[in-house]
Structure 1
């Protein structure tokens, strides 16, 4: 009797287990039965595609977006471009209302500089003329004075006459008194005295001429030094550098009222319209869209698996079936909260990412009109990239 009850209990447990497990596709018999020889193999290892890393990214010009702004408080006067226009470097894009006032300041500074330059040039010209005159006077003063040379000869002649007269008187005095008349001796003495007076007068005149000549030379030198100092003073005091600096400042302030394109590119957006006040926000935005890139946000835990040169595939419904690919050119070092929003409600939101820059291949579909488009970035595994490289090399 006990054995019958045990068998009945065993059958009941088997039936109950079958009812509980069968909705999930298994029966108790299948669970406890050995697998037949033709049973399907266990699941295979994940293929290469399953190791692809899928992240979010956004399209952006390779050289970035240029925000052109001006000093707040001014007002936009006119625009010379529209959104989508292609412009070259140096093209005038917009003008502020203060441009008219700044232009007047430039013209006033130019006039002041012109007047200061003319006055300086006139004074320098006059000072140079005085310097040339003083140089000529100095040269004349340094030259030999013919009157001085003539007076020196007069002194020499007077000295000779005196010597001759003294010699004649001495010769007469040495003769016997009975052979020379007293009148003749007195006459010779008068001649000696006259020659002595003439010599003294000639020497006095020579001294006066020498003093006058020296005074003239000193005066000429002083006038030359004064003229030279006057020229230096004019060049020092009549400086035009402050006026030139003022003009440069006025020109710089005027240039700030005209927005010009810093490089070739496309006008992306014009947030400010003519008549509106200038704020810290950009007046217009432009970029060189000839080269496009993608900035992908990769979770910090997956960054170590990336490398520069790794191939990626970029996907978006906006591509309309066009193939867009590229490669990683830079991996960031800063970890920040994500800027892109995942539309999957089950995706984790509390995470931190690293920005990875991807250069889009040349010759692929044009995406220059899709700036800031959020895309799906599929980073291919390194093995796939290496294999493709090896095949290409062969």
Structure 2
């Protein structure tokens, strides 16, 4: 703490602190000898403000009342004299007209009247100037007041420089100036905040790149026992010459360093040891690169053939997981495609039905009973059964799904169905699914060339009147749509009053939940009533839980994960075994197990990324090939690509965690 430079050579008159005392921020610690002189200047400035304020009040009040009254009396006197002069002039003017007086006498009376008039005008001007308060006079007086106030504030500021204040909350460490002494270059006193102590460490310029804010540090010294922990709080931005010199005469005394501030976690041990020289060890992460190239990458690329084999194994695991997940999703999507295309809000099925491939019939009258409920607009029956289709070219039989609908109802929202509804009203005319498997024959091409195709379904001769697009599924390789009457002709053992699915369409604005509740509570238990989403979930649940297909695909994904884990583990384990002496050397040099683990994990992460990329690219082609060969909806999705990527990374990290145990158990003494 020093005296203000504006005081020049200052002498201290009073000291208000002592060594070891605690001070608060802005607390006065010393008073300089300029206090009396500056206090007098403040009093003088206050008097000037008072005088300027009085002057302003005088200007605002105007002239004295006595002066105004006296001037008004003067104006009245001159007005009376003017009246007398006017009467004298008028009287002599009449005498002059009668020849009783001379012209010169009349001129004297006229001159007297004009002189009196001038005197009256002058008196009125004086009265106006005395009674008027001019704005300019007020502004001048106000400016004088502002100048006086500014001088007072300046005097107070000057007086405040006579009081030396503490800028911080802290403790007085050393007093350099006593009362009566002139403040020297060392100032008045040294004050420090000892509640939170810091260490300023000098780090060589070659090592500063490894130091970062937040790193842990250990401080030791012969002045206190044990060690103190700290955290790097600030890294300097200037390279300078070192200030702390080594006692070794052979040590370099002209080193280039950067100052690093370290915040101590416990300042009590060194609270009374300011400027103590200490030893600091900062825990910095070891360099994980060689000439800027990651060490993990150098390890992997050292044996290029081994790296290629590892990538091939990981790519195989990625392809296996992609294909299994793709088949599983295609199963679920294809299984409910028909359900999603049915135009209904509520669906009736038999309680004994388990899936589209295992439907049971129920009485059609239950469907028509729904028309009596509020909110129901229309109903449509749907017939489902599997028939034997004969390929029109080679006559080979193959099973497909036959769907019977009422042509007058809008049952499907499929491309091609609405355009050919009039066709299926004809006897023994069907619509063929153009997205069916190729084993059913090139029906779209035959239709384009011939105009119609004649074949057999379950022994009955039928004519293909058009095509639509739905797609194959795991339950049905192909699909036909025809009228309900044609359906009963093909399956002549089916009774007309028994249907497989009932569609209920509600009026616009009707509440599906309320209508469902009324239907379920009123109709008998020989029919199962589902909402649209429940109808879709009914089919999906069958394939997911009631068949082995969903489990097999999930198991295949898990097997791909396990195979990939084993492959990556073997590669990493072999790599670690080959470089065990190098790892042991690093361990002997002081590198932690965490560092060694991070190197292996980096290798695992690199392998996962490099193995995923070719596997992903190959799966795009395999998906396209599978879709064309099976007509199943197999395609790449963002969700699936992210899922497999996460599984690949997890697979490699697990392998790395297992492989690194050999490094952790390695003892440098045993190896060397």
Alignment correspondent of 1:78: 14
In 1: Cα distance, 2:181 partner to 2:37 partner: 18
Identify if the C-alpha distance between structure 1 residues 109 and 89 changes in structure 2 by more than 3 Å, giving closer, same or farther. Answer: same
Alignment match, 2:271? 368
Matches within 5 A, 1:250-261: 250-261=155-166
Matched, 1:108 2:11: no
2:53 is the alignment partner of 1:122:
no
Distance 1:355 1:319, change over 3 A: same
Alignment length (residue pairs): 236
Aligned equivalent of 1:358? 262
* Distance in 1, Cα, partners of 2:237 & 2:26: 36
2:248 is aligned with 1:340 = no
CA–CA distance in 1 between the matches of 2:135 and 2:269? 69
Tell me if the contact between 1:68 and 1:282 (Cα under 8 Å) persists in the aligned partners: yes
2:3 to 57, 69, 89: 69
User: How far did residue 337 of structure 1 move?
Assistant: 0.9
CA contact (8 A) 1:127 1:231 kept: no
Higher RCO structure, 1 or 2 (CA under 8 Å, sep 6+):
1
Cα deviation, residue 127, structure 1 = 7.0
Equivalent residue number for residue 180 of structure 2: 275
The answer to whether the 8 Å contact 1:69/1:281 transfers is no
Q: Deviations over 1:247-272 (max 9, x none)?
A: 11111111111112223211122111
Segments of 5+ residues of structure 2 without an aligned counterpart are 66-120, 287-590, 598-672
**CA 1:120 to 1:368, structure 2 compared with 1: closer, same or farther past 3 Å?**
same
For the 8 Å contact 2:3–2:187, the answer to whether it is kept is yes
1:310–1:382 contact (8 Å) kept in structure 2: no
8 Å CA contact 2:195, 2:267 repeated in 1: no
After the TM superposition, which parts of structure 1 deviate over 6 Å for at least 4 consecutive aligned residues? Answer: none
Separation in 2 of the partners of 1:231 and 1:350?
74
* Secondary structure at the counterpart of residue 106 of structure 1: helix
1:215-254 equivalent positions in 2, closer than 5 A? 223=128, 227=132, 230-238=134-142, 239-254=144-159
Match of 1:60 in 2: none
**Aligned partners of 1:281 and 1:357: how far apart in 2?**
24
d(CA) in 2 for partners of 1:272 and 1:257? 15
Q: 1:386 to 1:266 in 2, by over 3 A?
A: farther
- Provide the secondary structure at the position in 1 that maps to 2:17: coil
The C-alpha deviation readout for 1:347-367, integer Å capped at 9, x for no partner, is 222311111111111x45432
Aligned to 1:164: none
Contact 2:242 2:254 in 1 (8 A): no
Say whether the 8 Å CA contact 1:69–1:280 is kept in structure 2: no
Match of 1:141 in 2: none
State the match for 2:326 in structure 1. none
Work out whether 1:329 is the aligned partner of 2:233.
yes
| Post-superposition offset of 1:223 | 4.9
Calculate the TM-score normalised by the size of structure 2: 0.32
Separation in 2 of the partners of 1:308 and 1:227? Answer: 75
Distance 1:329 1:108 in 2: 51
Query: What is the alpha-carbon distance in structure 1 between the residues aligned to residue 40 and residue 592 of structure 2?
Result: 64
2:196 is matched with 291
Distance 1:366 1:386, change over 3 A: farther
Q: Specify whether residues 80 and 364 from structure 1 end up closer, same or farther in structure 2 by C-alpha distance, changes over 3 A only.
A: closer
> How far has the Cα of 1:304 moved from its partner?
1.6
Within-5 A mapping of 1:23-102? 67-70=1-4, 71-102=7-38
CA–CA separation in structure 1 for the residues paired with 2:250 and 2:276: 22
Partner-residue secondary structure (3-state), 1:340: coil
Q: Give the 3 Å change call, closer, same or farther, for CA 123–364 of structure 1 in structure 2.
A: closer
Quick one: distance in 2 between partners of 1:226 and 1:328?
A: 78
TM-fit CA distance, 1:232: 3.8
Residue segments in structure 1 that go unaligned for 5+ positions in a row:
1-66, 130-215
| Pair 1:127–1:317, CA change in 2 (3 A) | farther
Q: Distance between the aligned counterparts of 1:118 and 1:263, measured in 2?
A: 43
Q: Which residue pairs with 2:221 in the alignment?
A: 316
CA contact (8 A) 1:324 1:365 kept: no
Q: CA–CA distance in 1 between the matches of 2:593 and 2:55?
A: 77
- On the 8 A contact 1:72/1:280 being kept in 2, the answer is no
Match of 1:82, SS state, is: coil
Contact kept? 1:310, 1:385, Cα under 8 Å: no
1:174-232: per-residue Cα shift (whole Å, max 9, x none)?
xxxxxxxxxxxxxxxxxxxxxxxxxxxxxxxxxxxxxxxxxx9xx89x9599835x144
